[in-house]
Amino acid sequence: MHFISFADLPREEIEALLDRADDLKRMRRQGALTDYLKNRSLAMIFEKSSTRTRVSFEVGMTDLGGHALYLDPTSMQLGRGETVEDTGRILSGYVHGIMIRAKKHRTVEQLARNAAVPVINGLSDLEHPCQALADLMTIREKKGHLQGLKFAWVGDGNNVCNSLILASAMMGMEIAVACPKGYEPDEGIVAKARAMGGKVTITDDVKKAAKKADVLYTDVWVSMGDEAEKERRCNDLADYQINMDLIRLAKKDCLIMHCLPAHRGEEITDEAIRSPNSVIFDQAENRLHAQKALMMRLMGKDAPVILKMGRDVRT
Ligand code: CP
Ligand code: NVA
């Protein structure tokens, strides 16, 4: 079992993961130690920069009694022409899971096809499913439920947006993506979400999308790998910013969200980040708890048993 796309796990498993993540968060606050992944190792390959993903996976493994290895492709044989396929086979002989942040989604899929251990997508050009998992945890934590909420995405229809479209469809949230022409989310993802019964609207009218929204979410205008298009992107996306005027159109208790890193003054204003409605730093923390639950599901030898136990946590 891999976690490459948000749609890789069915709704009931996502719900169980969110319950488990809540429990793990509470236990960590209480200082309870866990060893669910004792003597297990996670290889982490990063083809792109990271702060949150790297630290949350590494600390998550330590918290669970296991070990994480940071692997930089430029200092691996991967950087000298060894294939992704061989790398997947070889790492599978040493570790119990592989997390990869890749430039191309195809690389994540190739790795998964050749790995005998679970592969986790730590961001590709198509999806960022671990981010969406932590985001669902955050929304549920603040709102108490997900079903029926109105989610508005503002800006570039990028990798994070794609995973959130699938996540919304699976969990019964209505999603409106407000973006200029040419910045729409992936067509295949939108079709998949709609086929699952998801209510997905794509519009260039940012005010319409934000109106009475329960969640307002944005991400950088220039994703990693898009740097050459910076000027054009900043011009095209200039009207797609989360600011106090836009927030006033949403529900009074609307959550302001951003996966971070943020570029203040571009996709979001500093005032919006600091507004009382902002849950941006909770999202970042929840990466840790949500991914611990995910790793227990994918890498724990008794993972299915743990899931069946629901909210009953063993310490
Ligand atoms: N949100 C996120 O994935 O952050 P990093 O790029 O810092 O890992
Ligand atoms: N869309 C951004 C997300 C960073 C976490 C990127 O791909 O760079």
Q: In the predicted model, what is the mean pLDDT of residues 283-304? A: 89
Q: Whose CA is nearest to atom 7 of ligand 2?
A: 223
pLDDT band at 307 (very low <50, low <70, confident <90, very high): very low
Catalytic residue flag (residue 239): no
131 lines ligand 1 (CB under 6 A): yes
In this chain, the answer to whether the domains covering 6-127+286-303 and 129-284 adopt an identical fold is yes
Question: Ligand 1 pocket test: which of 48, 51, 135, 222 has the largest number of ligand atoms within 8 Å of its C-beta?
Answer: 51
At 70 the three-state DSSP class reads: strand
Question: Ligand 2 pocket test: which of 57, 123, 259 has the largest number of ligand atoms within 8 Å of its C-beta?
Answer: 123
Catalytic residue flag (residue 128): yes
Predicted local distance difference test score (pLDDT) of residue 165 = 99
Tell me how far apart the alpha carbons of residues 58 and 70 are, in angstroms, rounded to a whole number.
8
Please pick, among 19, 22, 125, 219, the residue that the annotation labels catalytic. Answer: 219
pLDDT digits (tens, 9 = 90+) for 18-29: 999 999 999 999
More confident residue, 241 or 312: 241
The encoded tokens of residue 121 equal: 């997508």
pLDDT band at 308 (very low <50, low <70, confident <90, very high): very low
Q: In the predicted model, what is the mean pLDDT of residues 182-193? A: 98
User: Any long-range contacts for 230-239 (C-beta under 8 Å, 24+ apart)?
Assistant: 233/156, 234/266, 236/180, 236/182, 236/183, 237/155, 237/156, 237/179, 237/180, 237/183, 237/266, 237/267, 239/180, 239/206
Partnered with residue 119 across adjacent β-strands are 98
Catalytic residue flag (residue 234): no
Q: Where are the alpha helices (DSSP H) in the chain?
A: 11-29, 52-63, 84-92, 105-114, 129-143, 159-171, 187-195, 206-210, 230-236, 244-247, 270-274, 280-299, 303-308
pLDDT digits (tens, 9 = 90+) for 51-110: 999 999 999 999 999 999 999 999 999 999 999 999 999 999 999 999 999 999 999 999
Q: Considering the domain 129-284, what is its CATH architecture?
A: 3-Layer(aba) Sandwich (3.40)
Partnered with residue 190 across adjacent β-strands are none
Domain boundaries, the chain: 6-127+286-303, 129-284
Question: Are β-strands 67-71 and 41-46 bridged in parallel, bridged antiparallel, or unpaired?
Answer: parallel
Predicted local distance difference test score (pLDDT) of residue 33 = 82
223 lines ligand 1 (CB under 6 A): no
Please pick, among 130, 161, 254, 259, the residue that the annotation labels catalytic. Answer: 259
Catalytic residue flag (residue 147): no
Predicted local distance difference test score (pLDDT) of residue 315 = 30
Whether 294 has a pLDDT exceeding 70, the answer reads: yes
pLDDT band at 149 (very low <50, low <70, confident <90, very high): very high
Please pick, among 2, 40, 131, 161, the residue that the annotation labels catalytic. Answer: 131
What global pTM score does this model have?
Answer: 0.95
Look up residue 268 and give its DSSP letter: B
CA distances from 55 to 50, 74, 299 (A): 8, 20, 18
Q: In the predicted model, what is the mean pLDDT of residues 274-293? A: 98
For 6-127+286-303, the fitting CATH number among 3.40.50.1370, 1.10.10.350, 3.30.2000.10, 2.40.10.480 is: 3.40.50.1370
User: Cβ(242)–Cβ(218) under 8 Å?
Assistant: yes
Mean pLDDT lowest among 109-113, 201-205, 300-304: 300-304
Tell me how far apart the alpha carbons of residues 214 and 301 are, in angstroms, rounded to a whole number.
38
Percent of the chain clearing pLDDT 90 (strictly above): 94
Predicted local distance difference test score (pLDDT) of residue 207 = 98
Whether 213 has a pLDDT exceeding 50, the answer reads: yes
